[in-house]
Amino acid sequence: MKTLPAGFLAESNLVSPEHREFRARLRRFIAEEVDPIAARYEEEARFPRELVSRMGQAGLLGIPFPKEYGGQALDSLSTAMAVEEFSRAWGSLGIIVAAHIGLGSYPIAAFGNEEQKRKYLTPLARGERLGGYGLTEPQAGSDSGSTRTRTHFDGTHWVLNGTKAWCTNATEAYSYIVSAVSDSGAGKGGISAFIVERDFPGFSFGKKEDKMGLRASATGTLIFDDCLVPPENLLGEAGMGFKYFMNTLDGGRITIGAMALGLAQAALDQVVQVLHQEQGLLRDLWGSEYRLAPLAEMASDVAAARHMVYNAALQKDRLKRWTLDGAMAKYFASEVAMRVTSRAVEHLGTAGLPMNSMVSRAFRDAKLCTIGEGTNEIQRVVIAREILRGGSE
């Protein structure tokens, strides 16, 4: 496939030689393991269990975590690059990785005690197990502080009751980070976080969502009916769950931005390829403003989104607080993904309409990026508030 020149990536001041080498490694893995199966698995809405296992063996599911817990000890930019490249090849794989690393594993690395890291983070980082995240509820989506899942301590266990919706990696993960109200009179300060294993008594799965995009990813409902959680599976301190989840989402927005970037790049690649093919047939194509102007706009959008996402990833490792950077990256990159994939479908015409075409997949997948980790309406509020309070620290 014809791709854009290396200089176009607009990354020279952000990306080190080690990052470029890591990207090359990712692309080799994708060419060998992902490209041959992506279209078929997506069409069949089939979760790629064998592929995920091979990714774990290759160290691609523990990129940012310490080596002592089975990770690769790479930086947040490397994680963003991985999500970008996987999403560029296959959106479903991008979100599987983003949810596993950023939502199912990161909270344990950031807030877990040593025992929890040894027991749960290590197999997650090694790719021996997959992680999930239970925050969204049927009545509590963007307003995660309105959590209705409840818990109380009965003397031996935390007892959870409630439902979590739209959980990525549902039915496929082994452990889930779950929010529940432990003190109903304390507001957001009464929300706690727990590590819940799939075989805990009282834990079951509801329906699997039949989605318009990201069809090979497993998205579903988690049901807690007097679910018994051992006291040692309380994550961090009781009542700190809301703070933990907001911190997790700050980082998750960067990976969603990276996912959006990968989808936009995939669509742009297709347009560039078609234009190169048409150049051989229509010698006057290069003088057609009608055909070339959209390409310039799409390419500029993707370059700007890449810079914003990469910068946010670097800031995550440098700053105490990266809320503004993450929200901006997620908001801008997801809007770019919607614009670029839509224009790509229009550019390809009827060739872009089949369900299994790359641009059709990217167009449908991109919509999740404007919703996940907080809708873009919420991101605008977050961005404005952060600017007024002084931004990143």
What amino acid positions are annotated as catalytic residues? 373
Pick the closest to residue 265 from 224, 217, 229, 309 (CA basis): 309
Q: Which residues make beta-bridge pairs with 177?
A: 133, 195
Q: For residue 247, which amino acid is it?
A: N
Q: CA-CA distance, 141 to 143, in Å (whole number)?
A: 5
Cβ atoms of residues 259 and 369 within 8 Å: yes
Question: Hey, CA dihedral for 341, 344, 349, 352, is it positive or negative?
Answer: negative
Place of tokens 């998205």: 219
The H-or-E segment that residue 186 falls in is none
| Paired residues of 132 in beta bridges | 176
Q: Where are the beta strands (DSSP E) in the chain?
A: 131-134, 150-153, 158-168, 175-181, 191-197, 203-208, 219-229, 234-235
Report the first-to-last Cα separation within the chain, whole angstroms: 42
Helices and strands: H and E segment counts in the chain? 13, 8
Provide the sign of the torsion angle of the four alpha carbons 298, 299, 302, 303, taken in this order: negative
User: With 0-12 CB in 10 A as exposed, 13-18 as middle and 19+ as buried, what is 326?
Assistant: buried
